Amino acid sequence: MTQGIGAIWVYLATSPLLGLVVTLVAYVAATVFYRRTGGFPLAHPVLLSVALIAALLEFGHIPYARYFEGAQFVHFLLGPATVALAVPLFENAERVRRAAPAIAVGLVCGSVTAALSAVLIARALGATDVVLRSLAPKSVTTPIAMGISEKVGGLPSLTAALVILTGITGAMLFPLLYEATGIADWRARGLGAGTAAHGIGTARALMLSTTAGAFSSLAMGVNAILSAVLVPPMLTLLLGR
Amino acid sequence: MDLGVLQVLALLLACQLAGEVVTHAANLPAPGPVLGMVFLLLGLLALRRVPSALERTSRGLLDNLSLLFIPAGVGVIRHLEILRAQWLPILASIVGSTVLAMLVAAGAMLATEALFARGSSANAGGRDR
């Protein structure tokens, strides 16, 4: 009997099906729990699901690469979903056009603040050089962030992890931070979420307001390009070559 | 003519593919999917409306956008050692800079708008909203 279960486990642990099902089930369970708590920030579904799955992999001695063989099917949909952000953006095209100069100023200021403050805070608290370089692009959407990290001498895969942690942090702070500081404008809230917390911030903004989601998508896209241009020279200035 | 879910997925993937091709060919600092988003947006601006199937399928994808970050998020476990050793600077840096960037981006946008509004109300002698 136990041998039977063991054999099934051995089979499942090597099949991509397990990683895929675990990802979906963890997300559904985390979403239900999040709603039950009335949207408590620390119960954010991405944070809960990641913690749950990470614990499972640790206890089950399943390497991340094996898990990803199944989870990659979910991961792959990020591409078409990013393209689909054009729809809310189109629906808000007029609002974006009217605020274009203000958006540009907000984006440049936000983008520089994200990278500069990340490096300065971590340096003041004694982070190592490679961690500083990996932290600098952490507000940028993953593929570009990894590219920047590689270029400036960081660890791209560490950057990918920091990007996700940043996104979750931004999503947890949205819209609490804006309520606390009296910023009520959903366009500005969206712009901040996309600049600081890329796609995960955008996902959170979209849940609460299509307008915020549109501004967040725009900010995510432009911030990726701005950071690719600005972060490398900024790091050379701050940390040397 | 209306599109089905499959056609919409094909359209989204085709935009992404076009984005990947252009960004690699021209060596641009933009991810392929983001460029694909720009292509789809240009298409919608030319069409002047969103086909209902595209509206439905994109909503289905975007309603669950958070889910799509989980596989990459679990990748955090590959760096537990560095995160454990330097948890304080990393945590402070992420939380601090996220708060600052969210406030600065939103605040700078609103401040610029207020400045423009003051300028235009001085010219026109009134606010347009």
Chain B CB contacts of A183 under 8 Å are: 103, 106-107, 110
SS3 for A171-232, per residue? HHHCCHHHHHHCCCCHHHHHHHHHHHHHHHHHHHHHHHCHHHHHHHHHHHHHHHHHHHHHHH
Q: State whether A110 and B78 contact (CB < 8 Å).
A: no
pLDDT for B46 beyond 90 = yes
Which of A76, A105, A136 is a domain's end point?
Answer: A76
Q: State whether A183 and B89 contact (CB < 8 Å).
A: no
Hey, is A153 helix, strand or coil?
A: coil
Q: Are residues A171 and A232 in the same domain?
A: yes
Residue A40 buriedness (CB in 10 A; 0-12 / 13-18 / 19+): exposed
pLDDT of A72-85, one tens digit each?
999 999 999 999 99
Owning domain of residue A71: 2-76
Pick from A64, A169, A171: CB nearest B94:
A169
pLDDT for B122 beyond 70 = no
pLDDT attached to residue B31? 86
pLDDT attached to residue B126? 41
Q: State whether A119 and B37 contact (CB < 8 Å).
A: no
Chain B CB contacts of A144 under 8 Å are: 29-31
Q: State whether A27 and B70 contact (CB < 8 Å).
A: yes
> What's the complex ipTM?
0.92
pLDDT of A104-149, one tens digit each?
999 999 999 999 999 999 999 999 999 999 999 999 999 899 999 9
Residue of B93, B112, B113 to mutate, testing the A interface (most A Cβ within 10 Å of its Cβ): B93
Q: Are residues A40 and A59 in the same domain?
A: yes
Q: Give percent of chain A with pLDDT exceeding 70.
A: 99
pLDDT attached to residue B2? 60
Using left for φ > 0, alpha for ψ between -120 and 50, and beta otherwise, residue A140 falls in beta
The Cα of B123 is separated from the nearest Cα of chain A by a number of Å equal to: 18
Total domains in chain A come to 2
The Cα of A12 is separated from the nearest Cα of chain B by a number of Å equal to: 18
pLDDT for B3 beyond 50 = yes
pLDDT for A3 beyond 70 = no
Chain A CB contacts of B64 under 8 Å are: 27
pLDDT attached to residue B121? 65
Q: Are residues A133 and A27 in the same domain?
A: no
CA proximity to B8, closest of B43, B45, B47, B54: B54
Q: Are residues A162 and A199 in the same domain?
A: yes
Q: Are residues A59 and A160 in the same domain?
A: no
Nearby residues of B126 by Cβ (< 8 Å), 6 or more positions away: none
pLDDT attached to residue A16? 87
pLDDT band with cut points at 50, 70 and 90 for residue B118:
confident
DSSP characters for A3-35?
A: HHHHHHHHHHHTSHHHHHHHHHHHHHHHHHHHH
Q: Are residues A68 and A146 in the same domain?
A: no
Q: Are residues A23 and A132 in the same domain?
A: no
* Amino acid (one-letter) located at B17: L
Hey, is B49 helix, strand or coil?
A: coil
The chain B residue lying nearest A208, using CA atoms, is B63
Geometric angle at alpha carbon A150, from A137 and A229, rounded to 5° = 50
Query: For residue A126, what is the DSSP state?
Result: T
pLDDT for A180 beyond 80 = yes
Q: Are residues A109 and A68 in the same domain?
A: no
pLDDT attached to residue B116? 87
Q: Are residues A8 and A51 in the same domain?
A: yes
Calpha distance A97→A111 (Å, rounded)? 20
The number of residues making up chain B comes to: 129
pLDDT of B64-74, one tens digit each?
999 999 999 99
pLDDT band with cut points at 50, 70 and 90 for residue A240:
confident
Which of A76, A108, A134 is a domain's end point?
Answer: A76
Span A153-161, average pLDDT: 94
Which of A59, A76, A93 is a domain's end point?
Answer: A76
pLDDT attached to residue B127? 42
Sign of torsion over alpha carbons B42, A107, A188, A101: negative
Q: Are residues A45 and A91 in the same domain?
A: no
pLDDT attached to residue B128? 44
Q: Are residues A9 and A126 in the same domain?
A: no
* Amino acid (one-letter) located at B23: T
Hey, is A127 helix, strand or coil?
A: coil
Q: State whether B105 and A196 contact (CB < 8 Å).
A: yes
Q: Are residues A104 and A170 in the same domain?
A: yes
Q: State whether A139 and B101 contact (CB < 8 Å).
A: yes
Residue of B3, B17, B50, B97 to mutate, testing the A interface (most A Cβ within 10 Å of its Cβ): B97
* Mean pLDDT, all residues of chain A: 94
Span B49-62, average pLDDT: 94
